[in-house]
Structure 1
Amino acid sequence: MSDRLPPANRRGMLKLGSAAAGLLLGTPVLAQPRYAPPSPVDTGRVAEGRVTFPDWRAEADPRTPPPPAPLPPGERVGFAIVGLGRLSLEQLLPAFAECRLARPAALVSGTPEKLRAVAAQYGIPESACHDYASFERLRDNPAVQVVYVVLPNGMHREFTERAAAAGKHVLCEKPMANSAEEARAMIEACARARVRLMVAYRIQYEPYNLAALRLARSGELGRLVGMSAVNVQTVAANGAEQWRHKKAMAGGGALPDIGLYGLNTARFLSGEEPVWIQASQFSPPGDPRFAEVEETLSFTLRFPSGFIAQCLTSYGARDDKVQRLNFAGATIDMPNAYKYQGQQLHLARNLGGQDQRSSVILPHRNQFAEEIDHMAQCVLRDAAPRTPGEEGLQDQVLMEAIYRSAAEGRAVELPPQPRRDMFRRLPDGIG
């Protein structure tokens, strides 16, 4: 058999050899693909350090939000997280991944093993990890501008005052304190130190509750007539061991822990302060979980405009966190209104002579990240927070009136405030 190839095959082998040689020599032998240049719709534009894209969907579709424009890590406001309990580890520290203006810069905990583990997870240097006794070392850490107090309620005053004395701004978890007296002292301490004080009312930064606020304040649904708010959950049999069931640490039971959401949201949505309060409370006899604090409490608030809010809170009923707003011209139902996630907003009203029901669908925004970034923005701009200490103090005053009404079995009347939104600052664009 001849080893000579036909001319056509020889030409093919020569081409293959040339290609192989080109690969060996690093010479490109295949034609490079040519692509059409991208359009401005696809590339977008950069203005003041932000990338923006023009609309690319037709009017029938919702608009997409612009890309996030986070600050470089080294320019973000540093937070020291004080207390590494469930809220810090399950919600707050993970939320920093969605922040655009803030970063965790230090940790404070009384449990050394947990402190080391969490520091390793979030890249916090050992020099920025402290126990409660060495808390004041935060003063010497320029990477920390804000101290986030995430401790039992009875410890809020002490660590707010210590943070202010160290020259750090303070973000304090709700409820602000165990009493109005403590809240006033915290406000005064921060004022003396010339640092900002913000109370972590996450609902006032949560997108669906902000949507409800815009609808309520716009007037398009008519007068806000009534609100019903339920915030209940259960406690395990060993719950008596938790700090939430010790009055010295918690200040009360279901009311300051979860009932506060109904109270604060009614004030937030209406912009008014209650002038009449009626409350009733109950605890199962002989249950050690409720030897010092209440299990269940209901309260009714009446506001100057005639708006009435009815609120129920309990540690004895299966988890449910819902609110309904009744306007003269519409109804808003909000399942999961006070949860960490899963909020919804359903609107019912008469349109064109027919009962129309619709749902508002909003882009995801982590309410904890929004809250933390707001505090960071206040530090960067030297601005007052939307939920300052005065907002927390007012809730303390009202909770004391609620407890007084329940204890005495009568309604409590309060003097009207001279104007709406006395104790908070509203988001831009909402009047």
Structure 2
Amino acid sequence: MAEKKLGWALVGLGKFATEQLIPAFPNCKKSKLVALVSGSPEKAQRIAAENNLNPKNIYNYQNFDLIKDNPEVDIIYIVLPNSLHAEYTIRAAQAGKHVMSEKPMATSVADCQKMIDACQKANKKLMIAYRAQYEPFNLKSIELIKSGKIGKLRFLTSDHGRLLKPEQPEDKWRADKELAGGGSLMDIGVYSLNAMRYLTGEEPVEISAMMHSDPNDPRFKEVEETVAFSLRFPSGVLANCSSSYGYDSVKRFQAFGSKGTLILDPATDYYEHNLELKLEDGKHEVQVKEEDHFAAEIDHLSECVLENKTPKTPGEEGLRDVKYMMAIYEAAKQGKPVKV
């Protein structure tokens, strides 16, 4: 008997949704795409036709709440600019649907809490789309560190950078503080931050930070360009991280232990990863099979709904990162460490 597939609706049909998420659904075992929510009827109709979706399952932002009357939709995936995650998560929960929200979860801790509360009140699951936590190379890195392959973990670094291009539709909103909530930190620094937490298995207790934006670059009129931040963990592990819209195509982390070093570079690419160990006896490339981690992440939430389990990356996980990012901004502003 074929496994039951839950019906998913995508809210927002930008480049990420159309190029990464929609192509992942055919690889899903427990999930199928059944509905679209978009401000562009032409685009939604074209994508619905390409994916054999019922044209009746196309919604816009005005009639979105009518999705409550559609039994085909079990889970709603919010793929909108950051400051809209809270509103649409709350509306989705009120419509009686489970929710996956893109990261960063929201642009304030208060909004994160409202999202958690709304889903709890509706008795619906809430998961934050931390795709790296479902990706085989990242999972292997966690396993290698935990097993003591590089000895006692002492220090970590992580850097995420890409050039912001506001002239392109997918980046236009990222230069807008009201929609994005912040600059490189909120967009890609969250990968560095989250990786430090899942690689140590700890929560930071102290944060230091510095920020710089080119004052002559119009892209950074509202949002920050580059952030450097340091984290102190209870075990004594320290981490140095950076995020930038000014240096290009970096997405890596390194873990330094008493017996060796682990390097994942790229660490959070959509398609390819490279994992290397540097030990006393030399360099070793760790072989891991590339898999569709978008499909794995989507199926994880479907499985949690079907089996009534708590997602691995629930709302609380997203709230913690937003709390730490606010502390990073605060530390940079004050020029001194912030206890968290």
TM-score (norm 2): 0.97
Contact 2:271 2:290 in 1 (8 A): no
Distance in 2 of aligned mates of 1:137 and 1:123: 21
Distance in 1 of aligned mates of 2:115 and 2:197: 22
The 5-angstrom pairing of residues 26-425 of structure 1 reads 71-72=2-3, 75-236=4-165, 238=167, 242-350=172-280, 355-414=281-340
- Other-structure match for 1:4: none
Contact 2:166 2:174 in 1 (8 A): no
Distance in 1 of aligned mates of 2:331 and 2:274: 33
Deviation readout 1:168-189 (Å, 9 max, x if unpaired): 0000000000010100010001
Distance in 1 of aligned mates of 2:81 and 2:10: 13
SS at match of 2:319: helix
Over 3 Å counting, the alpha-carbon distance change for 1:346 and 1:182 in structure 2 is: same
Contact 1:239 1:289 in 2 (8 A): no
Over 3 Å counting, the alpha-carbon distance change for 1:237 and 1:125 in structure 2 is: closer
In the TM superposition, residue 237 of structure 1 has moved relative to its aligned partner by 6.4
Aligned residues: 339
Moved more, 218-227 or 159-168: 218-227
Distance in 2 of aligned mates of 1:387 and 1:237: 30
In the TM superposition, residue 110 of structure 1 has moved relative to its aligned partner by 0.3
Moved more, 213-222 or 301-310: 213-222
SS at match of 2:249: strand
Deviation readout 1:30-68 (Å, 9 max, x if unpaired): xxxxxxxxxxxxxxxxxxx6xxxxxxxxxxxxxxxxxxx
Distance in 2 of aligned mates of 1:399 and 1:239: 26
Distance in 1 of aligned mates of 2:254 and 2:298: 27
User: What are the ranges of 5 or more consecutive residues in structure 2 without an aligned counterpart?
Assistant: none
Q: Which amino acid aligns with 1:219?
A: G
Q: Which amino acid aligns with 1:356?
A: G
Distance in 2 of aligned mates of 1:282 and 1:214: 35
SS at match of 1:231: strand
Deviation readout 1:160-209 (Å, 9 max, x if unpaired): 00000010000000000001010001000100000000000001001000
Deviation readout 1:70-89 (Å, 9 max, x if unpaired): x45xx201100000001100
In the TM superposition, residue 236 of structure 1 has moved relative to its aligned partner by 2.9
In the TM superposition, residue 141 of structure 1 has moved relative to its aligned partner by 1.2
Deviation readout 1:134-157 (Å, 9 max, x if unpaired): 111211111111000000001000
Over 3 Å counting, the alpha-carbon distance change for 1:237 and 1:168 in structure 2 is: closer
- Other-structure match for 1:30: none
Q: Which amino acid aligns with 1:408?
A: Q
Cα RMSD over matched residues? 1.3
SS at match of 1:222: coil
Distance in 2 of aligned mates of 1:236 and 1:399: 23
Q: Which amino acid aligns with 1:287?
A: D
Contact 1:82 1:149 in 2 (8 A): yes
Distance in 2 of aligned mates of 1:142 and 1:294: 43
Contact 1:337 1:343 in 2 (8 A): yes
Distance in 1 of aligned mates of 2:149 and 2:301: 31
In the TM superposition, residue 315 of structure 1 has moved relative to its aligned partner by 0.4
SS at match of 2:247: strand
Over 3 Å counting, the alpha-carbon distance change for 1:248 and 1:237 in structure 2 is: closer
Q: Which amino acid aligns with 1:315?
A: Y
In the TM superposition, residue 216 of structure 1 has moved relative to its aligned partner by 1.6
Distance in 1 of aligned mates of 2:154 and 2:294: 30
SS at match of 1:186: helix
Contact 2:166 2:172 in 1 (8 A): no
TM-score (norm 1): 0.77
Distance in 1 of aligned mates of 2:172 and 2:339: 34
